[in-house]
Structure 1
């Protein structure tokens, strides 16, 4: 929901850093993989109840997730890079709730529901992108991407906010996870309605 509004604010500084990294010989895929490893590390840290350290890794991982596209734009974008980016994103999205599930047994049911909701959201996102590609649709609302990004209530920005709140208030993980799971399901419904309208 907020990604397209935040893009114009964060893209200029990210693009400037991305150009410098590209000039230094860093590739977009290297940045993507580093972000994924750090994001999974955040889940491990959270699993051991190092919540603030986990938070720092979450933020660093998301910074790298923004920078990989900036590096790609400074060099060249590739379909494999787009594939690697989305797989890395969802590895991160699974790692964080999984970490909270390991941190406290009471969290486990809510972590499972959140992971399930991320799975449905991801499927709706990718299925819509496939149909949009077949129809020749394009959008740059989320910046120049390898495939079509359909908007919804729960996007990247909202996910990061939810994860930050979980790390700062781990005792409220269940509540935050339940609310965000509901937002994910609403997003799936939104995309399904949009697909019905657009592709029928």
Structure 2
């Protein structure tokens, strides 16, 4: 919901850093995999009870996720890079609830519910993208992407805000997880309604 609105604010500094990184020969894929390692490290830190370290690594992951796209725009995007980017994103997204689930047994059920909602949201997102691509549809609302990005209530910005809240308020993990899982399910219904009107 907020991703497209934030693009005009975050793209200029990311593009500047992307030009510098591309200039010294750093590839977008290298940034993608580095970001993934940082994000998974954040999940491990959370599982071990190091929530502040986990939070720092979550933020680092998002910075690298922005930089890989910036470098790709400078050096030229690739389909393989787009594939790696979305796989890394979803691997990171499910790892953070998993980390909280390992941290405390009281977190296990809400973590499972949240991961399940992420799977549903991801399926609706990717299915929409596949059909939109077959129809030749394009959108620039989320910047230049390797495939069609459909807007929803629960997107990357909201997910990171939720992860930050979980790290800052770990006692409220269950409540936060259930509420956000509900928002993810609403996103699936929202995207499905859009598909009904758009795909005929």
TM-score > 0.5 by shorter chain? yes
1:178 alignment partner in structure 2: 178
Q: For residues 53 and 14 of structure 2, what CA distance do their matches in structure 1 show?
A: 24
What CA deviation, in whole Å up to 9, does each residue of 1:30-54 have, x standing for no partner?
0000001110110000000100100
1:60 alignment partner in structure 2: 60
Q: For residues 144 and 20 of structure 2, what CA distance do their matches in structure 1 show?
A: 19
* Post-superposition offset of 1:120: 0.3
Q: For residues 92 and 176 of structure 2, what CA distance do their matches in structure 1 show?
A: 17
Matched, 1:79 2:79: yes
Aligned-residue Cα RMSD (Å) equals 0.4
Q: For residues 77 and 103 of structure 2, what CA distance do their matches in structure 1 show?
A: 38
Specify the SS of the correspondent of 1:148.
coil
Report matched runs for 1:13-52 at 5 Å.
Answer: 13-52=13-52
2:115 alignment partner in structure 1: 115
Q: Give the length in aligned residue pairs.
A: 200
Q: For residues 103 and 20 of structure 1, what CA distance do their matches in structure 2 show?
A: 39
2:10 alignment partner in structure 1: 10
Q: For residues 26 and 171 of structure 1, what CA distance do their matches in structure 2 show?
A: 40
* Post-superposition offset of 1:76: 1.1
Normalization by structure 1: what TM-score? 0.99
Segments of 5+ residues of structure 2 without an aligned counterpart are: none
Q: For residues 134 and 196 of structure 1, what CA distance do their matches in structure 2 show?
A: 16
What CA deviation, in whole Å up to 9, does each residue of 1:136-178 have, x standing for no partner?
1000000000000000100000000000000011110001101
Specify the SS of the correspondent of 1:43.
helix
What CA deviation, in whole Å up to 9, does each residue of 1:68-91 have, x standing for no partner?
000001101000000000000000
2:149 alignment partner in structure 1: 149
Q: For residues 17 and 114 of structure 1, what CA distance do their matches in structure 2 show?
A: 34
Q: For residues 118 and 49 of structure 1, what CA distance do their matches in structure 2 show?
A: 23
Normalization by structure 2: what TM-score? 0.99
